[in-house]
Structure 1
Amino acid sequence: MYNSPFMMLPGISPQEFSYLRSATTGLNERELNGFLMIYQSKRRNPDDMLLYCVLGFFVPGLSRFLVNQIGMGILYFFTYGLCAIGTIIDLVNHKRLAIEYNERMVFESLQLVKIGSSMQY
């Protein structure tokens, strides 16, 4: 576990670690390195999401824009975070927001790696 390349990801939780291990089974070393490079650039750290949610009181919808929920971000922006109630809920659920986003990025990164490896052959 400690020698795993996933451990270099900041703020990785055991849940995310096990999800990454199961999602990347069957990848060779080159594909795994490509996956890590793509995933690392797209991933949101749950600890950083807490900061983005706090900043959501000053820039409503910031956390929603950062997890590609553009519609909710616009709604939060024009309603001041649904009168700050939505921003408070996001503050409480910041880890869930990051985990759901990261799971989508795992799928997207895997698709990019598979497309890249199929184009090389």
Structure 2
Amino acid sequence: MSKVLRHLPELDGDEQVEVARLLNDMSDAQAGHFARIYRSRRREPVHILLLAAIGFVGAGGLHRLYLEEFALGLVYLFTGGLCVIGTIYDVIKYKDLALRYNRDVALETAETVRQVYDGASESGDV
């Protein structure tokens, strides 16, 4: 847990636990590399909430596009947030949407960092 607090102190709750689990077997250099990439790619839950709330005034689906769910974002956009019901659901579940997206980003980032460092250690660069 100390690595996540040192490298990503802004995380909390379930996201912090997920990231701490990934950082557990990384060196300090790997954890720092992971933190830089993850911080640039993760999505803040409050941004998702704000974009979902915009769906009530006619631009439904912006939050889904922000989460890189392009097909669903377009469906929301053209159907008025699935007749506002989908938008209401997403406003209620915005933290779950952010956690799911951020978990996927964390897994991808951890895999990338591991591949880079494994490749570097095989070639003798580390």
Q: What TM-score, normalized by structure 1, do the two folds share?
A: 0.88
Supply the distance in 2 between the matched residues of 1:52 and 1:29 (Cα, whole angstroms).
35
**Which residue does 1:27 correspond to in 2?**
26
**Which residue does 1:102 correspond to in 2?**
102
Please list the CA deviations of residues 26-70 of structure 1 after superposition, one character each: whole Å capped at 9, or x if unmatched: 100111011001110111111222111112333221111111211
Q: What TM-score, normalized by structure 2, do the two folds share?
A: 0.85
Give the alignment's Cα RMSD to 1 decimal. Answer: 1.6
Which residues of 2 match residues 40-119 of structure 1 at below 5 A?
40-57=39-56, 58-119=58-119
Supply the distance in 1 between the matched residues of 2:54 and 2:34 (Cα, whole angstroms).
30
**Structure 2: runs of 5 or more not aligned:** 122-126
Supply the distance in 2 between the matched residues of 1:3 and 1:24 (Cα, whole angstroms).
11
Supply the distance in 1 between the matched residues of 2:5 and 2:98 (Cα, whole angstroms).
24
Supply the distance in 2 between the matched residues of 1:66 and 1:26 (Cα, whole angstroms).
31
Shift of 1:13: 2.4
**Structure 1: runs of 5 or more not aligned:** none
**Which residue does 2:16 correspond to in 1?**
17
Shift of 1:3: 4.9
> Which structure has the highest helix share of the two?
2
**Which residue does 2:124 correspond to in 1?**
none
**Which residue does 1:4 correspond to in 2?**
6
> What is the percentage of aligned positions where both structures have the same residue?
29
